[in-house]
């Protein structure tokens, strides 16, 4: 259960899928909410400034968003490679 579910809305929960999950070595992590204002800044923090592949997709609370989209306390931000279902 993430901190948002516990009512401690002081963090942003980050989810990673597929190759990105393997790259980071973990499926999720948490950052302080006041350290990032948008999705790009969330990425910069979790990746220690490593550039993002241009085809990486982003979502906030399970909706696709652009990198410039604002983030706030309690958000679930997800990063993943192009989808390959079907």
Partner 1 sequence: MIDIRDSSFNPWEELQTYQNNFSTKGKFGATAVFIGSMRDFNEGDDIKSMSLEHYSGMTENYLKKIIQQANVKWDLQDTMIIHRVGDIKPSDPIVLVAVWSAHRANAFDASRYIMEELKSKAPFWKKEVLEKGSRWVGKNTPG
Give residues with Cβ within 8 angstroms of 19, minimum separation 6: 81
Give residues with Cβ within 8 angstroms of 6, minimum separation 6: none
The reply on whether position 26 binds partner 1 by CB under 8 A is no
With contacts defined by CB under 8 A, name the span among 10-18, 28-36, 43-51, 67-75 that binds partner 1: 10-18
In the window 29-48, what residues touch partner 1 (CB under 8 A)? none
Structure tokens at 75: 């958000």
Q: Which residues bind partner 1 (CB under 8 A)?
A: 15, 17-19, 55, 57, 59, 62-64, 78, 80-86
């Amino acid at each position: 259960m993430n901190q948002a579910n516990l009512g401690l809305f002081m963090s942003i929960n980050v989810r990673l899928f597929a190759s990105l999950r393997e790259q980071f070595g973990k499926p999720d992590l948490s950052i302080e909410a006041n350290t990032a204002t948008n999705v790009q800044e969330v990425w910069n923090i979790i990746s220690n400034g490593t550039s993002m592949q241009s085809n990486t997709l982003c979502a906030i609370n399970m909706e696709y968003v652009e990198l410039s989209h604002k983030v706030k306390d309690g958000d679930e931000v997800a990063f993943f490679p192009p989808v390959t279902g079907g």
